[in-house]
Amino acid sequence: MKNAHSYDTSALRAAIAAERGELADLLDGLSTEQWNSPSLCAGWRVREVAAHLSMGFRHRIPRIAVELVRSGGSLHRTTDRFARRDATALTGAQLADALRDNAHHPWTPPVGGLAAALGHDVVHGLDITVALGLDRRVPAERLRPLLAGVTPRTLRFFGARLDGVGLRATDLDWSYPSGGRTVARPAQELLLLVYGRRVPGVDI
C-alpha cells in the first residue's frame, strides 16, 4: 500500500465528493426512528453526526472561533455544541442537502489536509451506518489512503486502545503489526478501531 502522502490530490477530491453525495442519499432514506438512534459517536445520535458532517460548510471560521473561546478552548466541546444546536435547528432533509450541495467544498480539518477530510467523512459515515446495522461498504479506493496514514500518533490522537493488538485487513493488503495477537477484519472495521471506535462484534 502506498504512503498516505503519495495519493493524488484530484483523486482524493473525487473520493470526498463521492462519499458526501452517497451519504446524502443515504440520509434521505432514513426514518425518524433512525435519525434519533444512537451512533458510534458517544453521546451523539445519527442526527448529531449528520449535523457535524456539514459543520465546516455551514459555519464560517470567525463564528467557530467565538464558540471555541466560549468553550474554554476545547475543540471537542465546541463541535459538540454546534452538533447539538444544528441537529435541533435543521431538518433531516436540510442536513442531507448540506452534504450534497457541498460535495466539492474545499473544507479540510485544521490538520491533515485532504486525506483528513476524507477520513472525517468516511468515519462519521460509518458511525451512522454501522450503528444502524446498514450494509454499506466503503469503496476500497477511499479506505486505502486512510489506512496508509495510520501511525502510533494517529492511535494516540483518536484515543484508540490497541496495546498488544495487531490489525490485518481481510479485504485489502494492509496490516498494522504490534507483536501481539492479530485481529483480522474487513478494512472499514479496522479503520473504525484506529479512530477510537468500538465496533460491534469485534473484541480487542
- Whether residue 58 is predicted with pLDDT greater than 80 in this model: the reply is yes
Q: What percent of the chain has a predicted confidence (pLDDT) above 70?
A: 97
- Please report, as a single letter, which amino acid is at residue 26: L
> Given this model, what pLDDT does residue 195 score?
95
With beta carbons less than 8 A apart as the criterion, state whether 95 and 54 touch.
yes
The SS3 assignment for 134 reads coil
Asked whether the CA dihedral 175, 189, 90, 93 is positive or negative, the reply is positive
pLDDT, mean over the chain: 92
Alpha-carbon distances of 94 from 24, 84, 124, 165, rounded to whole Å: 10, 15, 18, 41
**Amino acid in position 192:** L
- Gap between the Cα atoms of 155 and 160, Å rounded: 5
Q: By percentage, how much of the chain surpasses pLDDT 90?
A: 73
- In this predicted structure, what is the pLDDT of residue 61? 76
- Per-residue model confidence (pLDDT) at position 170: 97
Cell of 85: 444546536
Q: For residue 32, is pLDDT > 90? A: yes
Distance CA 181, CA 167 (A): 9
Statement: residue 74 has pLDDT above 80: no
pLDDT digits (tens, 9 = 90+) for 96-142: 999 999 999 999 988 889 999 999 999 999 999 999 999 999 999 99
Mean pLDDT in residue range 152-173: 91
CB of 124 within 8 A of CB of 16? no
**Please, what is the end-to-end C-alpha distance for the chain in angstroms?**
24
Is 90 exceeded by the pLDDT of residue 95?
yes
pLDDT in tens, 164-199: 899 999 999 999 987 788 999 999 999 999 999 999
Mean pLDDT of 4-26: 92
- pLDDT confidence band for 4 (50 / 70 / 90): low
For residue 123, give the C-alpha cell: 468515519
Within 13 Å of residue 136, how many CA atoms lie on the same side as its CB? 20
Q: With a threshold of 0.75, does the pTM exceed it?
A: yes
What is the spatial order of strands in the sheet that 175-176 belongs to?
Answer: 175-176, 165-169, 181-185
pLDDT at 179: 72
**Residue ranges of the alpha helices (H) in 102-166?**
113-132, 140-148, 152-158
Is the model's pLDDT at 1 over the cut of 90?
A: no
What percent of the residues of the chain are helix, what percent strand, and what percent coil, each to the nearest 5?
Answer: 60, 5, 35
